[in-house]
Amino acid sequence: MVKTNKLNVFNDPIYGFIGTPNELIFRLIAHPYFQRLRRISQMGLSYLVYPGAHHTRFHHALGSMHLMTRAIQVLKMKNVEITEKEENGLLCAILLHDMGHGPFSHALEGVVAKDLSHEKLSLQFMKALNDEFEGQLDTAISIFKGDYPKPYMNQLVSSQLDMDRLDYLKRDSFYSGVTEGNINSERLISMLNVANGNLVVEEKGIYAVEKFLMARRFMYWQVYLHKTGLAAEQLLIRVMQRAKILLAKGEELSASQSLLFFLKQEGAIAFNTEILEKFAQLDDVDILGAIKSWQFHDDFVLSKMCQMLLNRKLLHIKIKNRPSEPEKLNGKLERIMQKHDLSLEEASNFVFEGEISNKAYSMEQQAIYILKKSGRITDVLKESDQLSLKALSKTVTKYYSCYPKEAV
């Protein structure tokens, strides 16, 4: 990292040098709330499948801000009026958009801190920082919430073609080594414009949008919903749930104070400043430290699941187009119950089923608008000549079942 006049320049493997545009951004990045993102894995446990996928939310936030800088430059060149205050608001909103992620990102969302989504927590972090920075984040918060009178500004931060998605697809593709997810973010951004207050893509950029949506579909099935990563994340969730059960029974578990605080909570948590501070202390280190300790716990279920995660001796997983036959799973459950003298509830940590779904383009969300040369605005699905793109707007659901490869 090179220092220059109190502002930092970060050397990013995707985009090269990323600068901090002003002192407010510099101070936000330096804040402990933001530095915590260095200890939050961007892709959960995907590194168990793709060894290079060890990048963090810190990387992603800086990359998203860099792309926002480029988008602002492009829109200004096309005579879209963006004031200095609005520009700063956009940069702060995208920089802080993922502040609310907990340990291992989506893998444990709503599990450790029950019913608290990362979007809600990001907003709470932004409000806390706004108090500390004496109202300098007012515009950023308004844009983030979608309250700002220029809709395209919120769409740059959160939509089906936002700077968040443009960065994570390119970044996750790079670090995982899955080239099918690589997108031309520069090309997409160069085609952005604003019409009737909404973000649009100029007609000549339609093929870049098609490739973006196809890349998103590939990344979900091949990386984010990869069966081995899914099996690992399901184990991780069950580790936390088992720890909660044991703590509720009065068992002793060694873990950080912040993790124990959340695991001991029953039901939804009433949010306040104290809770935010405790959540800010949570990161991947707390979870890994606890798992390393719990692998030696007297409770067979907890210790076994922790050992499986640490040593990558995961459950076998099958993914099908229809649910498994109940008789097969019931037989596996009974064998584990008998062998280890476990209750049905305990054995269900090792034999279970569920479903996953993927939709690259949502008809329920704001459309990706195409600006025709004639000035007419249409949905990308109507303009695409690829039949496969229309299929991407349909939800594809698959069913998985997990069970030990051999007797546990």
217-241 confidence digits (pLDDT tens): 899 999 999 999 999 999 999 999 9
Residues of the chain by 3-state class (helix, strand, coil), percent to 5: 55, 10, 35
Structure tokens at 237: 């969730």
Per-residue pLDDT of the chain (408 residues; tens, 9 = 90+): 444 455 788 999 999 999 999 999 999 999 999 999 999 999 999 999 999 999 999 999 999 999 999 999 999 999 999 999 999 999 999 999 999 999 999 889 888 887 778 888 999 999 999 999 999 999 999 999 999 999 999 999 999 999 999 999 999 999 999 998 899 999 999 999 999 999 999 999 998 998 999 899 899 999 999 999 999 999 999 999 999 999 999 999 999 999 999 999 887 777 788 999 999 999 999 999 999 999 999 999 999 999 999 999 999 999 999 988 888 889 999 999 999 999 999 999 999 999 999 888 887 788 899 999 999 999 888 877 654 666 777 888 999 999 998 755
**353 SS3 class:** strand
Determine the CATH number of domain 7-223+365-393.
1.10.3210.10
Q: Give φ, ψ of 241 to 5 degrees.
A: -65, -40
- Within 10 A of 222 (CB to CB), how many other CB atoms are there? 16
Report pLDDT digits (tens) over 88-132: 999 999 999 999 999 999 889 888 887 778 888 999 999 999 999
Distance separating alpha carbons of residues 304 and 315, to the nearest angstrom: 11
The CA distance from 263 to 250, in Å, is 12
Contact (CB, 8 A) for 273 and 285 = no
